[in-house]
């Protein structure tokens, strides 16, 4: 199985800005470790971020946030994309809708997406739907996703597992698996 690590909406406006989720702060160290391990083992790191325009429907729900080209729509400095990472903009909750992400992942031979970032019960949930409908396996490290509340986070994880057959895992489990696969590949080649 070929993985891609998707980092969703770890943006200034979501972490410390206009619609900040204070709980997001505690996933940053684990997510940073996971991103580093993905890069180290050759797993593509793909950032999919809100980049709203004034006419986007979401603004009616959440107000102006993560507006395209603003500081609020930039990835937080602690998780800054690297030169070999892949970047996609989205205008809805679903990372796949109208973004070209599916075509890109297929060109990389990806069969399983690792979904991380914000919010477990919203954008992670809708990205999971988009992934499932396109035939991807889904894994969600519960220590690398978060929501506005513990209830929303836990409810989101249960929904992902029950409805989208998502594998609920951890950063440690994923890192261990990637490193074992990399060692096996080195040994065989």
Consecutive 10-residue averages of pLDDT for the chain (189 residues): 95 96 96 98 98 94 95 98 98 97 98 98 98 98 98 98 98 97 88
CA atoms of 21 and 75, how far apart (whole Å): 14
Helix (H, G, I), strand (E, B) or coil at 136: coil
What values do phi and psi take at 118, rounded to 5?
-125, 150
Q: Which residues partner with 139 through β-bridges?
A: 114, 167
Residue 17 token pair? 């800005």
Residue 188: predicted pLDDT: 86
- Per residue in 16-35, pLDDT tens? 999 999 999 999 999 999 99
Residue 30: predicted pLDDT: 98
Question: Are 77 and 15 a contacting pair, CB within 8 Å?
Answer: no
Query: CATH topology for 3-188?
Result: Rossmann fold (3.40.50)
Ranges of each domain in the chain? 3-188
């Amino acid at each position: 199985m070929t993985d891609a690590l998707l980092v969703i909406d770890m943006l200034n406006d979501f972490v410390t800005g206009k619609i900040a989720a204070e709980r997001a702060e505690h996933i940053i160290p684990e997510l940073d470790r996971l991103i580093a391990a993905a890069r180290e083992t050759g797993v593509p790191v793909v950032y999919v971020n809100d980049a709203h325009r004034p006419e986007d429907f979401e603004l009616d729900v959440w107000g102006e946030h993560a507006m395209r080209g603003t500081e609020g729509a930039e990835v937080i400095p602690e998780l800054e994309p690297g030169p070999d990472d892949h970047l996609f903009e989205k205008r809805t909750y679903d990372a796949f809708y109208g973004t070209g992400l599916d075509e890109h992942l297929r060109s990389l031979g990806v069969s399983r997406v690792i979904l991380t970032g914000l919010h477990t019960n919203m954008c992670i949930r809708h990205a999971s739907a988009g992934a499932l409908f396109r035939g991807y396996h889904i894994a969600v490290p519960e220590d690398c996703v978060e929501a506005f509340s513990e209830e929303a986070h836990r409810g989101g994880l249960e929904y992902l597992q029950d409805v989208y057959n998502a594998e609920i895992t951890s950063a440690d489990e994923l890192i261990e698996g990637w490193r074992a696969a990399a060692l096996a590949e080195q040994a065989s080649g």
